[in-house]
Amino acid sequence: MQPTATPSTTRPTRTRYRVVGFILLLAAITYLDRNAVSILTPDIRKALNLSTVQMSWVFSVFAIAYALFEIPTAWWGGRIGSRKILARIVGWWSTFTIATPFAWSFPSLLGIRFLFGQHRLPLAL
């Protein structure tokens, strides 16, 4: 019977660098997305004829949904695993990024941004 490898005798893999690189890439994409919306605020307001107050609701509804679903997402991640959660986050985030320019009114934009904020949970829950 061969002895099992101990942490001091095994060589570390480069997987951790890939994981950190992937996480940094995702963080950069989400950062760009948040900045793109704020930079495009004047164009969005003009296209949908929104007031400053309405636009503040567009930003607020995202933050509200994000905060509301923070704890349920952590609980859910503990139950099904972080890889599955991360895959769903990326999928839903991408879906709502694509959906945002298709908003046709203030309520539709609010709905999309709310769903954007709760993107971590599947819509079926």
Report whether 79 contacts 88 (CB < 8 A): no
What distance in Å separates the CA atoms of residue 65 and residue 59, rounded to the nearest whole number?
10
pTM of the model: 0.67
- The pLDDT of residue 103 is 92
pLDDT tens track for 69-111:
888 877 887 888 877 877 887 788 788 888 888 999 999 999 9
Report whether 112 contacts 100 (CB < 8 A): yes
